[in-house]
Structures are given as C-alpha cells and as structure tokens.
Amino acid sequence: MTDSLDLTDVLAIDDAVTRSTGSAQFGVTAAGYLPKPFTRLLAEKIALAQQVIDPDLDLSSGSVVRKLLEIASLEDARTWAALGAAYDDCFVTSATGRALSDLGAELGIARPFRCATGSVTLTVSGAVPTSVAPVTIPRGARLTTSGGHRVALASTVVLNVGTTSVAAPVVSVDPGEAGNLDPTHDDGAGGHPQKLDRWETADVKLTALLEADDVAGLAPDASATGTGLVRIQHTAALTGGEVPWDDAPYRALLLRAPRGLWSVDAIAATVALVPGVRQVAVRDGWGGLDLSQSIFGDFDFIERLFAAERDIASPYFVRVLVAPTDAAIWDGPGGLRAAVETAVRDVRPVGIFPEVVEADQVYVAVQADVVTRGLTLPTGSPATVNANPAAVALKARLVDRLHGVVDGLALGEPVRVAAVLHALMSEPGVTDVVHLRLVRYPREVDRMGSTMDVDATPQVLGRDENLTLSGDQIAVLVDRPDLVVVR
C-alpha cells in the first residue's frame, strides 16, 4: 500500500488524470454543453483509486470498492445531466417545458393555447333533394352561436340522398378556453349563447348553398329554429382550448420573434398570432431587394437601380402578405383583413403603413391508385371495393396525411411529389402507390373540387412533376378522396 496522501497530492493526481483522459473536452464547450458519460466517470475514478490507494487494488466487478465507485459515478453522471439540462434551458433553441415558457415571457410572447375541438351532428330534415344531391359542405365552413362564437368544420361533409345524419368534427377559430363551448351553458335568461346552432352567412364558402332554393335551410335562422334542411345538433362541449402549444411550434415562434420594436419581424410575429392566419410574409421593398419587380435579375448593377428613388412626400408602405386558413373569412368588419390591420397598428413604425394583401391560393388535389395489404376489402369492381367502409375510412386517413403535408407548406413552397408519396406510403396497410399525379385547379374552387367558374379546367400534372408556385402563392389541398382509388 502507498503512503497516505494529503489533499494537495490527491488534487494533483486528479488533475493529471483529467488531462490524460481528455476530460477538458466535456462541460461548456464551443459546441454547447457536453455532459460526461457514466463510463468515462467510472474509468476516471478507477484510475484515481489506483493512483491514490494501490495499483494492485481489487477493482473487479464483484469487489466492494468497485461497487462504491460505480455508485459514485452514477450520481456524478446524474449531476452532469442535470447541469446539462439547466444549461440548455438558458437558450430558446434547446429549452423545454417551463423554461421555454419563461424565455418566451421575457420576449413578451406568452405560450399560446390550442384551438378547442369537438363534434356536432348535422341532421337532414326529410331527404336531400335529388336536384342538389349530394350537398357538399366544405372544410372550413363556419358555424356560430347566438353569442357570436366562431367555429369551423374540420373536414368536408357530404350529404347524399339517403343520408339522415353525419357526425362532423369542428374546431374553434379562436384559441384558448373561450373556444370550450358548452351547449348546456345558461345565460340566466333561458338562453344558450354557447350552443352551435346556425351557419355563418358571411362565409363565402357557403354562398352557393345559402342561395340555392332547395337548400335554403342552411340559413342561420332556419337551422336555429329547427325548420331548415340541415340542422346542427350540438350536444357535447368542445375541449382542448386550455391546452398550451407544444414546445416545437412555440420554439419556432420565439425564434422568429423580433428582438427590437418596429421592425419587419415584429409585424410578422404579431400577424402570425392572429386567429385565421396560416402563413405571413412581410415584403419591404425599400428595406431590401424587391424580388417581385420585373427588372430584378435582368439588368446591370452599374447602369440601373433596383427601384426608383422614393418620393419622400408619399406614404411609405410595406406589403403584408397573408395566407388565410380554411376557416378564415377575409372581407367584412369582422374579417381577417380587418383583424390583421388592427393587430399591426401598434407595432408599425410611425409614418409607415402596412398594406394587407391576401395570398393567391392555388388549389391542388392528389390522384393516385393505392395498393393495400391486410385490409378486409371485398372482391369485385373498383367501385365495389372503394364503396366498402374500410376503403372509405382508409381514404379519409390518407386525406388527413395529405393535409399534414400541404397545410404545413410556406408561401411559395412547392408541393413535392416525393413528400406526397412518403405521406401515402406511411399509412399502415399501404404497400404501393402508383399512377400518382398532382391535379392543379387554375381558379378558385370549393373544397370538393367543383369549380366556381365553369371555364376553370383542372390540370393534371405529369408523372413526378411537382407543383411549383410563385412567392405570393400558397398551396391549398382540395378534399378529393374520390381521386384516390384503393386496389
């Protein structure tokens, strides 16, 4: 055994072991905080024990000293991990949970809440007239209450001749607990201001249905009084409005947030939180390159300027390009344009006026043959197979996956065939996808693909051809499960 060592000798040996094992590479480094792993901690303690006590010390797996060193190394590893978590919680890029919320509060952006969800039952009084069958109520169609709450359909609803009732998912337009609508809530005067019982007449997606004589029952008064063709039955409360955003979208919001007042980023961050906004881009031609000008990229830098010199006597405008959600109503005193203009009023610089413009929405559907395995499907013609409830449910799940791809696209981002194919192939039971094509609608259409302009002809893109968009356009998925054929 070696002679007993004082504290100075132990620290000197520990320093030598630290340098020889490369421990300086751990902790706070240029690449962030790197915690020391358990195996390295144990190896260092074993080396230190051999230096301090005896090189021939029994440190086999069954020895008492080895067990003590393992226990100490485990506790040290937990301490390193806790220090790493504390270090990560100091930055927006790596913080989680409460720490991320605290960082957001310091930036003045509290963690937003989700939109409440639920379902209503749409009941047909009598039978759908054959002259208008099927009646299609598109995704995003707005419902309301006597108290003025804003709710939208979360999926397209089709009412056929033989349909009596359909359970339709709905989502609140406004986030937070205010969207947890309880149909049994009593205002004290016998009324139920939170009960969904009428359609929003200002919604342009319902204009054609509201104007049709055979389906005039979609008018709000008719539905509320129970005399209309399509009646809304709201019996269960909407839930989930009290749940805050997950870390991933909240972190993305904070990373986009400005670190100063009165800037382009401040306007974009403010508009992004307005209910009904899907994507936003602020274009400041004088503050940077204006890519939308026709002369950009087609002139000599020495001979021409990017734009004409600003007239200091004229107002300064920035363009706020807004892509609305399916449930948004653009025009009107309570529309999205007015809400955005109100939101940017306090963050715009003095003397600078934002011009709020709606993004050009390009509607796209997916046409494909889906080969399945393991699903209980009948034999027979394609029509018989696709009419089976299992096939209908499969196509509904595939449409939801497509929404996950298209709804997450930014302004100007193309719809890629590869992303669509990956989404379809990720569905359990799907073994192959063939004859995949993207279908583009050149003019505005409803969410079932019926054109509002009879001259608008859908364009079927070529094989493996992506849908490319310009900077002021955004893709919107058309719910067309009939274009997906299950085989």
Determine the pLDDT at residue 450: 42
Confidence tier at 446 by pLDDT (50, 70, 90):
very low
User: What's the pLDDT at 100?
Assistant: 94
Can you give the pLDDT at residue 348?
78
The pLDDT value given to residue 136: 80
Number of Cβ atoms within 10 Å of the Cβ of 133 = 17
Average pLDDT over residues 173-179: 93
Residue of 210 and 79 predicted with greater confidence: 79
What pLDDT, on a 0 to 100 scale, did the predictor assign at position 445?
44
Crossing angle between the packed helical segments 7-21 and 38-52, to the nearest 10 degrees: 140
Listed by start position, the domains of the chain span 7-88, 117-233, 258-358, 360-486
pLDDT tens for each residue of 220-243: 555 555 556 678 889 999 999 999
Which segment of 203-217, 255-269, 299-313, 400-414 scores lowest on mean pLDDT? 299-313
| For the chain, percent of residues with pLDDT exceeding 90 | 38
Task: Determine which of 26-40, 204-218, 374-388 has the lowest per-residue pLDDT on average.
Answer: 204-218
Closest CA to 139 of 483, 459, 477: 477
Q: Is the pLDDT of residue 215 over 80?
A: no
The per-residue pLDDT of the chain, averaged, comes to 81
Q: Is the pLDDT at 175 greater than 70, yes or no?
A: yes
pLDDT tens digits, residue range 40-86? 888 888 888 887 788 888 888 888 888 999 999 999 999 989 998 89
What are the DSSP calls for 214-233, one per residue? GGGGGSHHHHHHT-SSEEEE
Bond from prior residue into 134 cis (ω within 30 degrees of 0): yes
Range from 59-63, 296-300, 354-358 carrying the lowest mean pLDDT: 296-300
pLDDT at 7: 65
Query: What's the pLDDT band for 28 if we cut at 50, 70, 90?
Result: confident
How far is the C-alpha of 180 from the C-alpha of 480, rounded, in Å? 30
Residue 303 — very low, low, confident or very high, per pLDDT cuts 50/70/90? low
How sure is the predictor about 457, in pLDDT bands with cuts at 50, 70 and 90?
Answer: confident
Question: Per-residue pLDDT tens for 144-166?
Answer: 998 889 999 998 888 776 667 88
* pLDDT grade for 317, boundaries at 50, 70 and 90: confident
Q: Please, which pLDDT band fits residue 369 given cuts at 50, 70 and 90?
A: very high
pLDDT tens digits, one per residue of 99-139: 999 999 988 889 999 999 999 998 877 666 666 667 788 88
Whose CA is closest to 392, among 409, 410, 370?
370
| SS3 category, 146 | coil
The answer to whether residue 421 scores a pLDDT higher than 50 is yes
Q: Does the structure show a pLDDT above 80 at 262?
A: no
Write down the CATH number for the domain with range 258-358: 3.30.300
Could you tell me what percent of the chain has a pLDDT over 70? 78
The structure tokens listed for 289 are 């390159």
pTM over 0.85: no
**Beta carbons of 145 and 194 less than 8 angstroms apart:** yes
Rama region for 438: left / alpha / beta (φ>0; ψ in -120 to 50; rest): beta
**Closest-CA residue to 407 (of 180, 195, 155, 105):** 155
CA 54 to chain CA centroid, nearest Å:
61
Q: What confidence tier does 180 reach under pLDDT thresholds 50, 70, 90?
A: very high
| CA-closest candidate to residue 231, choices 124, 138, 152, 119 | 124
Asked if residue 214 lies in contact with residue 132, where contact means CB atoms within 8 angstroms, the answer is yes
Average pLDDT over residues 170-196: 91
pLDDT of residue 130: 65
**pLDDT at residue number 103:** 92
Q: What is the mean pLDDT of residues 164-178?
A: 91
pLDDT tier at 359, thresholds 50, 70, 90 = very high
